A and B are shown apart, each in its own frame.
Chain A
Amino acid sequence: DGGITQSPKYLFRKEGQNVTLSCEQNLNHDAMYWYRQDPGQGLRLIYYSQIVNDFQKGDIAEGYSVSREKKESFPLTVTSAQKNPTAFYLCASSISSRNEKLFFGSGTQLSVL
Chain B
Amino acid sequence: GQNIDQPTEMTATEGAIVQINCTYQTSGFNGLFWYQQHAGEAPTFLSYNVLDGLEEKGRFSSFLSRSKGYSYLLLKELQMKDSASYLCAVRSTGANNLFFGTGTRLTVIP
Contact = CB atoms under 8 A, between A and B. Distances in A.
Interface of A: 4, 31, 33, 35, 40-45, 48, 50, 56, 58, 88, 90, 97-98, 100-107, 109
Residues of B in contact with A, size category: 20 to 34
A104 B97 contact: no
B98 interface: yes
B76 to A, nearest CB: 23
Contacts, number: 53
A50 B42 contact: no
Given A33-B97, A45-B97, 10 more contacts: A40-B8, A40-B102, A42-B99, A43-B100, A88-B40, A102-B35, A102-B43, A106-B41, A107-B40, A107-B41
Contact of A97 (B42, B48, B96, B100): B96
A90 B8 CA distance: 21
B96 to A, nearest CB: 4
B97 A48 contact: yes
Contacts of A106: 41-42
A90 B42 contact: yes
B63 interface: no
A25 B28 CA distance: 31
A104 B33 CA distance: 14
A44 B98 CA distance: 9
Contacts of A50: 96
A35 B97 CA distance: 10
